[in-house]
C-alpha cells in the first residue's frame, strides 16, 4: 500500500484515557495523545514543556494554601498547618504568622473559606467559624466569629436558632426573670450546654449550669412572656398546639393545655401584656370571647429553640458571602440548613419579621439533600450537597430576600466533595469523587442551571482530588487553567474553553508530591513534599516562566548550592540556554547566574495512526511510520522515538549557546508495529514547544 500522510495540528483534546484506545471514531482522537506528561497546552493547540517552579520558602509543616488578595499591590498566600498560619507575599517574602490556632491539618484541608479585602472566614463543622484579619503589612489576628449584639437588644445575641429537639420535647421555666430553673419532659441537657443560649417563646436564656439531663439552671436575658389561663365562652374546636390571637390586644400565643371545657392555658408569644377580658381570641378553627384572664407560672411549652451552632451541636460546614450577606450552611445537627445574615450586618442573623433586609434561615426542601458541603456565590447562590446541587432562583426582579428564598435542584445527584469549587469559564467547577463537573447557567427561566461532566475522556488523570485552583490567565498570557491536586500527590492541569469546544486534561508530576495549590490571578503556588540533600522538606514553590527546573534557586555562583540540593541524580544546573548537568561541579563550566533545581520528565506520545484501506480503517495491521516532521516554536533540541536533534547545525556559531529551533524538524524512523506511536521528549531540561506534527505512514 502507498504511504499516507497524517497531520496532527493540535493537542487540544489533551491526554485521553487508555480505555479510549479504540475510539478513533470520536473527534477528540485526532487532537489527543496517549501521553502528555508535564505539558502545558496552548490556546492555539500546541503542547509546551511546562515551566519550572521557584523555591520560595521551607514551611514548618505540611499545609493547605489559600490565596489572599487585598488589591493589586498587596497579595499573599497563607499556609494553614496544624495549629498555625504562615503568610507570604507573592514573591515568597515572609509576612507574619499566627500560632495557637484551633485547627488540625485535616480540618484545614476540609474547611471551606472565603476571603474579601482584609478578612478571611474559615468554616469546619468541628470548629467555631474563624475570622482571620490582616491588621498590617505583616500582622494578623484571629478570633472565633462573634454574632451581633445590637445596642438596645437587652443582651440578646442575633445568632441562628433552631428547635433541635424533637417537637414533642417541652421546656418549662420556673420563672420569668433572673436566675431560673429549666426542665424538659425528656433527656436533653448536656454539660456542654453551659454558656449556650435557649429561647422560650422567642426570649433568650443563657444556661449557667446543668444539674442532670432534664434539669438545668439559667439566667433570663430578656423577661420571658407570661403564661395565662384564659376563660372563654366556648372552648369547642380548640386544640393543644394551636396558635391563637387576640383581636384587640394583638397578643399571640400557643395553647398548651385545655381544661374545664372553657379554660385555655396559653403561653403568650407577643405583647407581654397578654390577653384581656372582653376581646375575642381566634384560632385556626374557632373563635370565642374572653370572659376571664389569670396569670399563672410559666407553662411547659414546645415553642422553644436553642442556638444552632455551638459546642453541643457543632458548627457550620460551609461559609460564603452573597449579596452582602454572610452565608453559614450545614453542620452536624441540621446538615441541610442555610442561614444568611441581614443585608446591613454580616454578623446579624435575626430573622425579625421576614422583611427584605432581615436574615434568612431555611432548609433545603428536598429529602434527597442530606448534607451541605459548600456554597458558591455567583449571579445566584449555589448550594452544593453530598447528594446534588441546588440554586436560589434570584434575579433583578426577584432579589435575594426571605420571601423569595427557595432552593431548587438541578443536574444529576452528584456527591460533591470537599475539594473547593470555584467559578471558571462562565460557570462553576466542582469535584465529585474522581470526576470534574462544570455547572453552567442555561438562560432558561424554569431550569436555570445544568451540569456537565468534563473529565470523562481523561478520567485517569483525576484521582480523588483534595485541592483545586483556577488561574485568570497564565503569567500575562491568554491561557487560563484549572489545577487539581490528586490524592496520590500528582496534579492534573485542565484547559476548558467551552466557546472553542476545548476540554483537555494533562498530568503534571514532580520529584515528590504536591500537597496543595493556590492561584493569585495569573500566578500559581504549590505546597510540595520533596527530598533535598537527603532530607524530607515541605516547600512553598511558585511556578516561574523563567525556569525549567522544579524547586529551583538562582545563584551567582554554585558554592552554596550543594548544601541545599545535595548531589542526587535529579539535581540539574542551567545557565541561560546551557544545560550543564548536575552538582557538585557541572561540566562544562559556564558563566552564571545559575539555576539549580530538580528535573522532571516531559513526554509526548501520540495515539496510533489510523489510515484508510480499501475495506475501511486499518488498525491492527503492521504499519511503519517512515518519517515525522515536528513543528517547533522557539525550542531547544528534542528526541523523537530515540532520535535526537543535534545541538548545532553546520551553519551555527559553536562559541554561542545552542540556538532555538522553530519550524519543521524531520526525523526518519525504522521498524514496523501493529499500533505504532511517536514519542517526543527533551534530552535536557530546557523549554520545548511542539505545535503539531505530520507522519508518513505505510501499511
pLDDT tens-place string over residues 404-463: 999 999 878 889 999 999 999 999 999 999 999 999 998 887 789 999 999 999 999 999
Is-contact 618 3, C-beta < 8 A?
Answer: no
Q: Clarify whether residues 569 and 621 are in a common domain.
A: no
Q: Measured between alpha carbons, how far is 457 from 676 in angstroms, rounded to an integer? A: 21
3-state secondary structure of 12: coil
Q: Clarify whether residues 297 and 168 are in a common domain.
A: yes
**Spatial CB neighbours of 599, under 8 Å, sequence gap ≥ 6:** 511, 549, 550, 570, 571, 572, 685
How many residues comprise the chain?
699
According to the model, what pLDDT value does residue 502 have?
86
According to the model, what pLDDT value does residue 41 have?
97
* Statement: residue 650 has pLDDT above 70: no
Q: Clarify whether residues 558 and 632 are in a common domain.
A: no
Judged on CB neighbours under 10 Å (0-12, 13-18, 19+), 179 is exposed
Give the side-chain half-sphere CA count within 13 A for 591.
2
Where do we find the cell 500500500? 1
Q: Indicate whether 504 belongs to any domain.
A: no
Q: Indicate whether 228 belongs to any domain.
A: yes
- Of residues 260, 256, 329, 330, the one with CA closest to residue 292: 260
**346-371, pLDDT tens digit by residue?**
999 999 989 999 999 999 977 666 89
According to the model, what pLDDT value does residue 367 have?
66
**509-550, pLDDT tens digit by residue?**
999 999 999 999 999 999 999 999 999 999 999 999 999 999
According to the model, what pLDDT value does residue 575 have?
93
What are the Cα distances from residue 302, in Å, to 229, 241, 253, 328, 351? 17, 8, 12, 26, 20
Q: Clarify whether residues 593 and 620 are in a common domain.
A: no
Where do we find the cell 505546597? 527
* Statement: residue 1 has pLDDT above 60: no
Average pLDDT over residues 109-125: 97
According to the model, what pLDDT value does residue 500 have?
78
Confidence of residue 152 (pLDDT cuts 50, 70, 90): confident
Q: Clarify whether residues 587 and 650 are in a common domain.
A: no
Q: Clarify whether residues 284 and 301 are in a common domain.
A: yes
Q: Clarify whether residues 630 and 610 are in a common domain.
A: yes
Secondary structure string (H, E, C) spanning 394-430: CECCECCCCCCCCEEEECCCCCCCCCCCEEECCEEEE
Q: Clarify whether residues 187 and 289 are in a common domain.
A: yes
More confidently predicted of 139 and 591: 139
Q: Indicate whether 621 belongs to any domain.
A: yes
**38-76, pLDDT tens digit by residue?**
999 999 999 999 999 999 999 999 999 999 999 988 999
* Statement: residue 236 has pLDDT above 70: yes
Is-contact 478 527, C-beta < 8 A?
Answer: no
Confidence of residue 501 (pLDDT cuts 50, 70, 90): confident
Q: Clarify whether residues 589 and 608 are in a common domain.
A: no
**Spatial CB neighbours of 587, under 8 Å, sequence gap ≥ 6:** 580, 581
Number of domains in the chain: 3
- Of residues 172, 277, 187, 147, the one with CA closest to residue 224: 172
> Which of these ranges, 135-149, 262-276, 329-343, has the smallest mean pLDDT?
262-276
DSSP single-letter state for residue 223 = P
Q: Measured between alpha carbons, how far is 253 from 250 in angstroms, rounded to an integer? A: 10
Q: Indicate whether 618 belongs to any domain.
A: yes
Last residue of a domain, one of 555, 578, 601: 601
3-state secondary structure of 319: strand
According to the model, what pLDDT value does residue 369 have?
65
**Phi, psi angles (nearest 5°) of residue 525:** -120, 150
Q: Clarify whether residues 685 and 566 are in a common domain.
A: no
Give the side-chain half-sphere CA count within 13 A for 573.
28
**Spatial CB neighbours of 608, under 8 Å, sequence gap ≥ 6:** 21, 619, 675, 676, 677
According to the model, what pLDDT value does residue 568 have?
84
Q: Clarify whether residues 196 and 291 are in a common domain.
A: yes
According to the model, what pLDDT value does residue 272 have?
67
Q: What share of the chain in percent tops pLDDT 70?
A: 98
For residue 597, give its domain range.
546-601
**Spatial CB neighbours of 333, under 8 Å, sequence gap ≥ 6:** 162, 164, 308, 313, 314
According to the model, what pLDDT value does residue 616 have?
65
Confidence of residue 685 (pLDDT cuts 50, 70, 90): very high
Average pLDDT, the chain: 93
Last residue of a domain, one of 536, 571, 601: 601
Q: Indicate whether 9 belongs to any domain.
A: yes
According to the model, what pLDDT value does residue 512 have?
96
Q: What share of the chain in percent tops pLDDT 90?
A: 78
Q: Indicate whether 592 belongs to any domain.
A: yes
* Statement: residue 302 has pLDDT above 60: yes
User: What is the distance of C-alpha 370 from the center of its chain?
Assistant: 19
According to the model, what pLDDT value does residue 658 have?
84
Last residue of a domain, one of 307, 322, 339: 307
Q: Clarify whether residues 597 and 633 are in a common domain.
A: no
According to the model, what pLDDT value does residue 648 have?
79
Strand order in the sheet with 360-363: 318-322, 325-329, 337-340, 360-363
**153-165, pLDDT tens digit by residue?**
789 999 999 999 9
> Which of these ranges, 93-107, 403-417, 532-546, 603-617, has the smallest mean pLDDT?
603-617
3-state secondary structure of 481: coil
Q: Indicate whether 112 belongs to any domain.
A: no
| Joined grid coordinates for residue 600 | 522532571
According to the model, what pLDDT value does residue 138 have?
96
Q: Indicate whether 391 belongs to any domain.
A: no
Amino acid at each position: 500500500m502507498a504511504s499516507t500522510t497524517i497531520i496532527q495540528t493540535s493537542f487540544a483534546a489533551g491526554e485521553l484515557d487508555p480505555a479510549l484506545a479504540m475510539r478513533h471514531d470520536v473527534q477528540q482522537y485526532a487532537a489527543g495523545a496517549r501521553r502528555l506528561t508535564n505539558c502545558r497546552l496552548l490556546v492555539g493547540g500546541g503542547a509546551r514543556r511546562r515551566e519550572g517552579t521557584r523555591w520560595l520558602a521551607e514551611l514548618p509543616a505540611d499545609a493547605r494554601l489559600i490565596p489572599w488578595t487585598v488589591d493589586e499591590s498587596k497579595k499573599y498566600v497563607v499556609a494553614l498547618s496544624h495549629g498555625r498560619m504562615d503568610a507570604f507575599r507573592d514573591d515568597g517574602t515572609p509576612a507574619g504568622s499566627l500560632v495557637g490556632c484551633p485547627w488540625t491539618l485535616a480540618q484545614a484541608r476540609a474547611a471551606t473559606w472565603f476571603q474579601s479585602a482584609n478578612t478571611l472566614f474559615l468554616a469546619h463543622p468541628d470548629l467555631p467559624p474563624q475570622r482571620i484579619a490582616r491588621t498590617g503589612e505583616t500582622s494578623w489576628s484571629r478570633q472565633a466569629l462573634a454574632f451581633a449584639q445590637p445596642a438596645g437588644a437587652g443582651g440578646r445575641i442575633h445568632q441562628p436558632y433552631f428547635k433541635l429537639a424533637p417537637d414533642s420535647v417541652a421546656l418549662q421555666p420556673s420563672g420569668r426573670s433572673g436566675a431560673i430553673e429549666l426542665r424538659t419532659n425528656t433527656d436533653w441537657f448536656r454539660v456542654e450546654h453551659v454558656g449556650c443560649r435557649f429561647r422560650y417563646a422567642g426570649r433568650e436564656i443563657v444556661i449557667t449550669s446543668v444539674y442532670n439531663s432534664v434539669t438545668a439552671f439559667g439566667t433570663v436575658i430578656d423577661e420571658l412572656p407570661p403564661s395565662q389561663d384564659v376563660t372563654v365562652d366556648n372552648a369547642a374546636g380548640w386544640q393543644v398546639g394551636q396558635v391563637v390571637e387576640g383581636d384587640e390586644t394583638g397578643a399571640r400565643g400557643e395553647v398548651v393545655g385545655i381544661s374545664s371545657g372553657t379554660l385555655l392555658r396559653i403561653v403568650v408569644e407577643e405583647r407581654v401584656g397578654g390577653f384581656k377580658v372582653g376581646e375575642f381570641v381566634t384560632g385556626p378553627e374557632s373563635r370565642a370571647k374572653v370572659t376571664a384572664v389569670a396569670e399563672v407560672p410559666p407553662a411547659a411549652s414546645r415553642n422553644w429553640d436553642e442556638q444552632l451552632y455551638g459546642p453541643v451541636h457543632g458548627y457550620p460546614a460551609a461559609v460564603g458571602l452573597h449579596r452582602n450577606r454572610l452565608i453559614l450552611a450545614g453542620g452536624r445537627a441540621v446538615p441541610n440548613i442555610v442561614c444568611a445574615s441581614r443585608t446591613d450586618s454580616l454578623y446579624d442573623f435575626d430573622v425579625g419579621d421576614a422583611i427584605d433586609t432581615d436574615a434568612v434561615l431555611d432548609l433545603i426542601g428536598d429529602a434527597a439533600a442530606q448534607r451541605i458541603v459548600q456554597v458558591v456565590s455567583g449571579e445566584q447562590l449555589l448550594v452544593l450537597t453530598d447528594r446534588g446541587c441546588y440554586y436560589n432562583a434570584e434575579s433583578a426582579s426577584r432579589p435575594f430576600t426571605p420571601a423569595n428564598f427557595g432552593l431548587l435542584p438541578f443536574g444529576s445527584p452528584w456527591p460533591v466533595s470537599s475539594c473547593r469549587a470555584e467559578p471558571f469559564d462562565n460557570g462553576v467547577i466542582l469535584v465529585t469523587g474522581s470526576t470534574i463537573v462544570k455547572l453552567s447557567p442555561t438562560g432558561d427561566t424554569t431550569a436555570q442551571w445544568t451540569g456537565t461532566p468534563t473529565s470523562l475522556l481523561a478520567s485517569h488523570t483525576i484521582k480523588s482530588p483534595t485541592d483545586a485552583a483556577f488561574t485568570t490567565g497564565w503569567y500575562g498570557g491568554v491561557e487560563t487553567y484549572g489545577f487539581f491536586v490528586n490524592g496520590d500527590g500528582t496534579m492534573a492541569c485542565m484547559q476548558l474553553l467551552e466557546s472553542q469546544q476545548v476540554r483537555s486534561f494533562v498530568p503534571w508530576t514532580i520529584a515528590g508530591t504536591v500537597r496543595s495549590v493556590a492561584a493569585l490571578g495569573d500566578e500559581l503556588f504549590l505546597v510540595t513534599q520533596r527530598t533535598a540533600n537527603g532530607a524530607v522538606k515541605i516547600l512553598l514553590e511558585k511556578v516561574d516562566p523563567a525556569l525549567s527546573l522544579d524547586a529551583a534557586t538562582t545563584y551567582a555562583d554554585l558554592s552554596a548550592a550543594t548544601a541545599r540540593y545535595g548531589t542526587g541524580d535529579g539535581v540539574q544546573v542551567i545557565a541561560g540556554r546551557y544545560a550543564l548537568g548536575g552538582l557538585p561541579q557541572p561540566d562544562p563550566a559556564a558563566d552564571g547566574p545559575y539555576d539549580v533545581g530538580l528535573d522532571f520528565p516531559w513526554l509526548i506520545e501520540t495515539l496510533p495512526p489510523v489510515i484508510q484501506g480499501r475495506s475501511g480503517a486499518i488498525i491492527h495491521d503492521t504499519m511503519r511510520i517512515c518519517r515525522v516532521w515536528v513543528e517547533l516554536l522557539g525550542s531547544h533540541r528534542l528526541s523523537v522515538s530515540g532520535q535526537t536533534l543535534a545541538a548545532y547545525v553546520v551553519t551555527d556559531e559553536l562559541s554561542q549557546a545552542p540556538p532555538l529551533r522553530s519550524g519543521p524538524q524531520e526525523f526518519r524512523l525504522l521498524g514496523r508495529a501493529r499500533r505504532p506511536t511517536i514519542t517526543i521528549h527533551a534530552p535536557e531540561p530546557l523549554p520545548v514547544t511542539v505545535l503539531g506534527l505530520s507522519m508518513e505512514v505505510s501499511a
